[in-house]
Each structure stands twice: as C-alpha cells, then as structure tokens.
Amino acid sequence: MSHNTFGHLFRVTTWGESHGPAIGCVVDGCPPGIRFTQADIQAELDRRRPGQSRFVTQRREPDEVKILSGVLPDEDGETLITTGTPVSMLIENVDQRSKDYGEIAKRYRPGHADYTYETKYGLRDYRGGGRSSARETATRVAAGALARKVVPGMTVRAALVAMGEKEIDRANWTWDFIGDAENPFFTPDPKSVTVFTEYLDGIRKAGSSVGAVIEVVAEGVPAGLGAPVYAKLDQEICANLMSINAVKGVEIGNGFEAARITGEDNADEMRMGNDGTPRFLSNNAGGILGGISTGEPIVARFAVKPTSSILTPRQSIDRDGNEVDVLTKGRHDPCVGIRAVPIAEAMVACAIADHYLRHRGQTGRI
C-alpha cells in the first residue's frame, strides 16, 4: 500500500530526490545467505549512469553505492552475505549545480509532472522534479542487482529495439554487442549504431527529443511462477515497467500483434523436449500463460515517450494562472529511452524474484 514500495516478499522501498543530499533504497525480504559484492551492484549502476556519451545527460555523478545494512562480510573481506534483514543502499547526490529556479519554480513545463504534482500535493520540490526525477531510477538498478541473485540460473537482459522512426534489424541481434564500448544505445544490432547516431545527432542539434522501444528478456525462469488472477506474472512485470518514467505502453510476447492474428497462428504448440521436459515450439505468449511462467524466455516490450525537456518553446501556464511559453534549458537526454534499458532489467528481475519467493512460500514447490 505504499506509494514508494514495490514487491511483496522481495520488497523494494525507494526514497530521495535529485536535489537532496542522497537517494537510496531499502530491500526487504531478501533471502539470507545470498553472496554478492559491492562491485556487483556498482557495475549495474555504472551501466545506467548518465554522462557516458553525448546522447545521455551530462550530469556527472559517480553514483557510488554504499551498502549500509543487511549484510555480513565474508572472510575474504569483499564478498557480502545477506542476513535476511533489510539491505539499505545509499547513493549521494554530488552534482547539484546551484542555479536560479525562480522561473521553473512557478511555471509548469508541458509534458512534465509539474502541474499534476503540485495539484496533488499543494507544493512540490521544483529543484529537479522531486520524485519524478529520472535520478530515482538509480535506486531501482541497485535493488535489481540484488534481485538477479535471488533466482538461481536467471539472466535478465534488455535492448533498445527502436528509436523514433528507426528500428533495429532483428536478424542482426547480438546480445554481446550490447555491452560493447562502441555501442552508446544498448542496441543489439551492430549495424544500427551508425543509423541511430546520425538520427539522434540531428534530434539533439535541433533541441528536440525522441522516444524509444525497449525489449526485456528473462531466461532461466522456472515454470510455475505467477498466479492466475490478480498477481499474474505478466501483470506485475507490466506494472513494474509502467512505473518507469515516461513509459506509455507495455506488451508481453507478441503483444498488440496478438490482437490481429487468429487462434491457430497465436497458439504456441507443445512437444516433449529431448531432455524429457515439455517445450514450446514458439513463444508468442512471451513465456507466460494464464499469468504463470511456462519456462520459456519471458519477453516484454515497452514504449518510452520523448523527453519533454526540449528547446522549442511550448505554451503553458504558471501557478498564478498566467499563460506563458516554456522552454527547458540545461542537461537533458535527447532520448531518455536509452537509459531505460538497465532500469527495465532491474524492474523485471525484481518482479520475478518476488514471485519466486511467493511461489516458494505458498507451494513449497521450489
């Protein structure tokens, strides 16, 4: 019932604004005995970190995670072991440029949460968007790094599959290319880099912005996770992805395409695999049937809108009801969708880890 918590047994509470002293999260319900290092968490945070190419905001934060509780150091002095108690992680805000917020404090930026936020609470932290700041997502990535360790054998990977009008060629899909130093887009298609570079440079120079589509794939998820009605695994994955800033749509498996085809074409047929376990001959379902995992890869896709911070003036009003024009100067991503890639992995990992524990709790079948 919290506005700032997600998950049930693997439960993540996040806090903090971009212009306070720090942001952080508390991961409660983590099983005891999980071994990890601070570097495991940091590696994920570094993937999300701004300031790594000209296509992501130039705010430079080291984003160094501090682990404050819930772990015992192992004898090697580096490995941490979860104790089953809350893991509190904190990231300091070090790059809070002082500036004059006078105008922004009063004006509602179109496409931003300024107006709704203030309508809800009667006041807002105008210094950077408050909780609506993308900076909050760093804490999700930290939590997700732990979640990955909860489900044995699970891997969760994501990729940018479209940017504005440009799409990747799925025939070129290469997971290993995503972490490549020459790939500032998390695209799985090596050939797409030059296309995206040229396209996004144009967008950036025009002071414009553009949206993106991200695909997340979780492999090694055992069959049986989820529930048939209101704790559907796909439902909770979608909810977790929808909670990411600027996401406007989510789909599982073939998604909206399923609405256009027939039952014969859509059904994933089954056969016995060589290893004596059931397997599916296709995966239109995206690894989930009736809200419960099939054992096939779980596939989700989501749309990120273009960032609303653009250099073209847009009509708006201020808090006194005056009609004004607003343009947003400063550090902004021409395509916020790029950075959503590691965030999406984290959110999907958390959803699955939660269901893994819930399934074990109710059924004892893991």
Nearest distance from C-beta of residue 51 to its own copies, angstroms = 21
Burial class (CB in 10 A: 0-12, 13-18, 19+), 176: exposed
Q: How far is CA 191 from CA 72, 224, 247, in A?
A: 45, 38, 26
Ligand-binding site membership of 307 (annotated): yes
Contact between 260 and its own copies per CB under 8 A: yes
Alpha-carbon span 30 to 62, nearest angstrom: 26
Identity of the residue, 87 or 145, whose beta carbon is nearer to its own copies in the bound complex: 87
Identity of the residue, 179 or 329, whose beta carbon is nearer to its own copies in the bound complex: 329
Contact between 99 and its own copies per CB under 8 A: no
Ligand-binding site membership of 246 (annotated): yes
Task: Name which of residues 68 to 87 contact its own copies (CB under 8 A).
Answer: 68-70, 72, 81, 83-87
Helix axis angle, 137-150 to 340-363, nearest 10°:
40
Encoded one letter per residue, x for contact with its own copies by CB under 8 A and - for no contact, window 192-231 reads -----------x----xxxxxx---------xxxxxxxxx
Identity of the residue, 67 or 193, whose beta carbon is nearer to its own copies in the bound complex: 67
Contact between 145 and its own copies per CB under 8 A: no
Long-range contacts, stretch 11-14, CB < 8 angstroms, 24+ apart:
11/354, 12/140, 12/143, 12/350, 14/136, 14/139, 14/140, 14/143
Contact between 187 and its own copies per CB under 8 A: no
Contact between 330 and its own copies per CB under 8 A: no
Of 11-19, 43-51, 56-64, 188-196, the window that binds its own copies (rule: CB under 8 A) is 11-19
Nearest distance from C-beta of residue 190 to its own copies, angstroms = 22
Alpha-carbon span 15 to 135, nearest angstrom: 11
Non-local (6+) Cβ contacts of 101 within 8 A are 126, 127
Contact between 255 and its own copies per CB under 8 A: yes
Torsion, Cα 126 127 129 134, to 10 degrees, reads 180
One residue of 138, 142, 154, 250 binding its own copies per CB under 8 A: 250
Could you count the other beta carbons within 10 Å of the beta carbon of residue 365?
A: 8
The binding site comprises 48, 54, 131-133, 245-246, 290, 305-309, 331
